[in-house]
Amino acid sequence: MCGRFTLSVEPDRLREVFPWLTLPAAAPLQPRYNIAPTQPVAVVANNGQHTLEFFRWGLIPSWAKDPAIGSRMINARAETLAEKPAFRVAFRRRRCLILADGFYEWRSPGAEPGAKKTPMHIRLKSGQPFAFAGLWETWRAPDDDKTIASCAIITTTPNALLEKIHDRMPVILKPDAIDRWLDPAEQSPDELSGLLKPYPASHMTAYAVSRLVNKPEVDSPELVIPVKG
């Protein structure tokens, strides 16, 4: 799964990678080092606008009676998107990019008695930001006009780097897949599935970081500084 990630680059770096992206003037992008579920995340929805928006992380299906269900739907498995009631319609119609420049996974300590999992920060070797493949929904409260835009990160099997750390990894879209993913038109699940592959391990790096990342309330640059271990 993917349960924490980062987006700390300056807006100019985002524009280098996504030159078509419109950034909101009213809500400046702040550096984030420990983005956690239920928090706002930077999203580009397939609505034809190519504008950065902020959606709640944790997809709330339109038919849900309680928005709390979203806290259990932060990730969506690529292999079952076309089957799961919470994701199958969004897979065809409501896709998005979730912008990031790194993410965390926790490496198992193995058989060593009393050892704790080690948090690892994973990013591209280039240091450039990238886009997770995501799904989005809009939920409307049944008793008023309140709406919540929410999203989930799609995960897949790990590449050669990640398989040493975790049994899943988020789908990072290759640049040539982004236009297809953001197409507002309804898409065939069979045709989209080919985009949801593990990102090449040769383009990525991973290193151990402080266990302070375990605390969602800690959000500071020290979280992405490499540590021994």
CATH of residue 51's domain is 3.90.1680.10
pLDDT at residue 28, rounded to an integer: 77
What range defines the domain where residue 180 resides?
4-214
- pLDDT for res 114: 67
Residue at 220 is within a domain:
no
Q: Is 227 a domain residue?
A: no
The pLDDT assigned to 112 comes to: 66
Query: In Å, how far are 9, 23, 58, 94, 222 from 150, measured between CA atoms?
Result: 23, 19, 6, 11, 29
Q: How many domains does the chain have?
A: 1
Residue type, 42: A
pLDDT for 25: 80
Does the residue 228 lie in any domain? Answer: no
Task: Phi first, then psi: give them for residue 15, nearest 5 degrees.
Answer: -65, -30
Identify whether 226 is part of a domain: no
In a domain, 224, yes or no: no
Give a yes or no: residue 221 inside a domain: no
User: Alpha carbon of 39 to those of 74, 109, 206: distances in Å?
Assistant: 11, 29, 24
Check residue 144 and give its pLDDT. 80
Task: Cite the active site residues.
Answer: 2, 105
Alpha helix stretches (DSSP H) within the chain = 11-17, 88-93, 178-181, 189-192
Residue 219 within a domain: no
Q: What is the pLDDT along the chain (229 residues), one digit of tens a residue?
A: 799 999 999 999 999 999 999 998 877 789 999 999 999 999 999 999 999 999 999 999 999 999 999 999 999 999 999 999 999 999 999 999 999 999 999 998 876 666 789 999 999 999 999 999 999 999 998 888 889 999 999 999 999 999 999 999 999 999 999 999 999 999 999 999 999 999 999 999 999 999 999 999 999 999 999 998 5
pLDDT of residue 142: 82
**Burial category of 123 from C-beta neighbours within 10 Å (exposed 0-12, middle 13-18, buried 19 and up):** buried
Residue 206 lies in a domain: yes
